[in-house]
Each structure stands twice: as structure tokens, then as C-alpha cells.
Structure 1
Amino acid sequence: MEITVKNFSELTTIELHDLLQLRSEVFVVEQKCVYQDIDGKDLNALHVIGTKEGKIVAYTRCFKPGYYFSEAAIGRVVVLESERKFGYGHDIMKASKKAIKNRFATESIKLSAQTYLIKFYQSHGFEPIGEEYLEDGIPHIAMITT
């Protein structure tokens, strides 16, 4: 998998279409969650895109400190279902943390994790904080790098 990091203005129309399609395929269709994915925040995000044979198979969006949380943030972490067996979730998280360090000069990162993925995020240095909550009908917990 090849990883690129782009600001919104650097995305091609095809990349934007494909990353929105991947997010919709996983978060709306696979997880059966009706929510407003296009929330206006993509314009201010750093987009970390994993491609394989020209197709987007993994993705995150990252934010500078103070935009989403007081810490930098990672969100919309997604891997195409058929590609999860290759460990691309780990690759895209490592690349996202590196992009935040390089672009925003911080290693303090917060995210809102689906609770079934706590161990996955712990393997990347995140620890749960606070209480579990529902976000779009799915159990989540805030996690921060330690």
C-alpha cells in the first residue's frame, strides 16, 4: 500500500470521490449507521490516503491542535473490508501519527474510538479517557496518546 498525505486543496476530484465513497461504504452501509459524513471539516483536514493498485483502501483525516480538540486529532479511520487482513489499519495509523508530528509539530493526539477497537488504538499508544458514550448510535470512547 502506498500512502500519501494531502491538504484538501491538493486532492483531485477522483481522490475526493473515492475517499468519500470508501467512508460511505464502511461507516454508512457496512456499519448500518445513518449520519452526516460530509460535515464541512474535510476542508480543514490533512488527508492520509492509502492506495493499492490505484484504489483507495485505507484513509484517515487529521486536524491540527485546537481545531477539533485541544490536541491534534485523527478521525474517519477506515480500511476497506476486503483489505483489513493485510494490516493496513496499522499502516495508516502509523502514517497519520507521523503526518501529525511532521505537519503540526506535536505527538499529543486525541480521537473518538469505537469501543470495540480500543485494543487496536492502544497498540498505537492511545489510552481511553472518560466514559463511554454513543456517537451516531455506536458506542465510542475518547482516547489520547500517552
Structure 2
Amino acid sequence: MSAHRAYDVDVRRLDELSAVELYELLKLRVDVFVVEQACAYPELDGNDADCLHLRLTDGGGLIACARLWRPTPDHLPRIGRVAVSPAHRGKRLGEALMREAITACEKVYPGEAIEISAQSHLQRFYAGFGFVPISEEYLEDGILHVDMVRQAS
């Protein structure tokens, strides 16, 4: 680990993750999005192979993750599945994770704006990173969301 942060950053394609790394990633996402948020939905949605997976790790394993979508004809690059391990909350890792995700998107897709589908109650959090709402609120899997975009810097 570097001296200026308490985590390591790893960005890889799905097929570059070991079985243990993949298990940790999917377990964290299911623990947060399905179990903690009491939201029955298809977490394994068939899109992971087309995305990059950003992981924050420490000596003990995975502490946070995000999924980075490549641009398509219908979408800008997107950041999704933003999750911090419940055991590591209160350490500002959500902010660190978003900074790292934005940096990774800017590196892989330079000059592109970035989209997110944000849970509505987190709009202020994402606004702190330059994201602005571009849609009305909508219900997704029983949770209010809003589409947001961050212009390229």
C-alpha cells in the first residue's frame, strides 16, 4: 500500500479476476444491494463481462468496488454498482471510491462525460463530484433513482 492512502486500487476485466477475487466482488455487491437494501433483483445481470471492475483492497481483502461501463451508442461511460463494505464504512471510502472511478473512466475514456444512475437520496453526494441530474426521479427495483452526468474535464 502507498503511504498516502490506506487502500490499493485495482481495475481489471472480469476474466482477469481470480475465482477468489470474483467471489469477494460478487459477495460484497449481493451483501449491499440485495441483502442490506432488502432488494430482490438480478444482481448477476449478464453485464459484468463487458465492464471494468474497480476494486479497493487492503491487506484483508476487498473493501469497496464499482463497475465501469464502456460507452455504447445509447450511453456515455457509466459508473455503477458503487459499494463499500459495511465493515469499512465511516472511513470516507465512498468518496475515495468515486474519485478512483472517475479517474479510471477519464484514463480509459478521455474527453468523455460520465453517467450514473444514482439512488435519489445520494444526489448531494454525487453532486460533490460534479454530477448533475439529467432526469426526473424514477423507481428502479423499488428504490428511487435519478440519472446524473458529469461533464468531461
1:87 equivalenced with 2:92 (yes/no): yes
Q: Partner of 1:77: helix, strand, or coil?
A: strand
Checking the alignment, whether the CA contact within 8 Å between 1:46 and 1:62 is kept in structure 2 is yes
> Which protein has the bigger helix share?
1
Query: Unaligned 5+ residue runs, structure 1?
Result: none
**Which residue identity lines up with residue 60 of structure 1 in the other structure?**
A
Over the matched positions of the two proteins, sequence identity in percent amounts to 40
Aligned to 1:25: 31
What is the number of residues matched between the two proteins?
145
Measured against aligned partners, the alpha-carbon deviations of 1:44-67 in whole angstroms (never above 9, x if no partner) come to 111000112232110000011117
Q: Say which one has the larger Rg.
A: 2
Question: For residues 1-146 of structure 1, what are the structure 2 equivalents within 5 Å?
Answer: 1-66=7-72, 69-146=74-151
Unaligned stretches of 5+ in structure 2? 1-6
SS of match in other structure, 1:130: coil
CA distance in 1, matches of 2:140, 2:48: 19
TM-score (norm 1): 0.94
Using the TM superposition, give the Cα deviation of residue 84 of structure 1 relative to its aligned residue in structure 2, in angstroms: 1.8
What is the Cα-based RMSD across aligned positions, in Å?
1.2
Q: Which has the higher strand share?
A: 1
The alpha carbon displacement at 1:88 in A equals 0.7
Structure 1 Cα separation of the partners of residues 100 and 13 of structure 2: 15
Scaled by the length of structure 2, the TM-score of the pair is: 0.90
**CA–CA separation in structure 2 for the residues paired with 1:16 and 1:106:** 30
CA distance in 2, matches of 1:134, 1:53: 38
C-alpha separation in 1, matches of 2:18 and 2:111: 28
Partners of 1:53 and 1:117 lie apart in 2 by: 29
Query: 2: distance between equivalents of 1:121 and 1:107?
Result: 17
The amino acid of 1:84's aligned partner reads R
